[in-house]
Amino acid sequence: MRKKTIGRTPDDPANRSPTANIGFKFKSQNGSKMPDQKIIALPPDMHRPVITTTLLPGKMGSHGWALLLAGAMFLMAYQAMAAAPRRPVAMPFGRNYVPTWAFDHIKYSNGGSQIELHLDKYTGTGFQSKGNYLFGHFSMDIKLVPGDSAGIVTAFYLSSQNSEHDEIDFEFLGNRSGQPYILQTNVFTGGKGNREQRIYLWFDPTRDFHSYSVMWNMYQIVFYVDDVPIRVFKNCKDLGVRFPFNQPMKIYSSLWNADDWATRGGLEKTDWSKAPFVAAYKGFHIDGCEASVEAKFCATQGKRWWDQREFQDLDSLQYRRLGWVRQKYTIYNYCTDRSRYPAMPPECRRDRDV
């Protein structure tokens, strides 16, 4: 049984794009660091900057106090400029979500605050949000299938429900033991996708939970991994590019077999002797405009936190982090694939994807 998303078939170009046939060799990523770290140093785990000042007794004087005051003002200005999304609020699964298929392949623990999706040779499983949303911040903490996960896809995505659907995708493509997961992102607008980007992650996503989130407003869609922006899709309607702004979406997740394309273009098949394959979830954060009323009321004109000015673009630190991901971990970007797009898609320069 094949389940992934509304409006997509096994023969969809998004599933069988040239990216599926690219083979990748994993190389050590130890020692990777953010470039140009002279003023604000980021720890290796890339949390927000830690700015320290050493005060020497008896050495302050008026010049020292002026420097200290300037440093404090810089710190306050920096904090005001920084536009990380609000911290997700963990919710039990049943508050925001319901199973959609193969209910017996979902296992609950910790009072429903954590679940596991199980995949065997008979079926995978999935779930969806109870509500439909137009703009907001949506987050899951996921621990991916460990070991030999070749052929398996774990998906977390938003999608509307019609033939010209909009969709925002995280797809985690499994691999053979010892090889890294590939995270593929995609954006569909008006039923058109083919905007795949693929990265390696800078950690082992099977050892612990990590946060994967989407911040979506009228100006941009930002994909985050542990608060690090890995992709931006700007509103480029003025360039003739459709943007998801009027179709409410549900949030979905699923664990399914896609060994016809997911790993090395379908060359690596799922080893069912390793089943069941298990992905774990917690968090289940939704902070969005529920579109139970007319969608136009979700265009809140600055009344929601994600509509505020600081969320209309990334700040300089976030762009440096995005550049770090681009430089160190990106393995495919549709924006630079001239075999598919002889002319660069117009949104790519605005998204700073090149």
Q: Which residues are catalytic?
A: 167, 171
What is the C-alpha separation between 317 and 326, in angstroms, rounded? 14
CB 159 within 8 A of CB 186: no
DSSP secondary structure code for residue 192 in this structure:
B
Residue for token digits 């925001």?
96
- Distance, in Å, from the CA atom of 201 to the CA atom of 210, rounded to the nearest integer, reads 11
* CA–CA distance, 202 with 113 (Å, rounded to integer): 27
How far apart, in whole angstroms, are the C-alpha atoms of residue 219 and residue 238?
A: 12
The dihedral over CA atoms of 327, 332, 335, 340, expressed in degrees to the nearest 10, equals 150
Q: Quick check: 213 and 137 in contact, CB under 8 A?
A: yes
Distance CA 270, CA 268 (A): 7
Q: Are 34 and 320 in contact (CB under 8 A)?
A: yes
| Euclidean distance between CA atoms 42 and 35, whole angstroms | 10
Q: Hey, what are 8's tokens? A: 């997509």
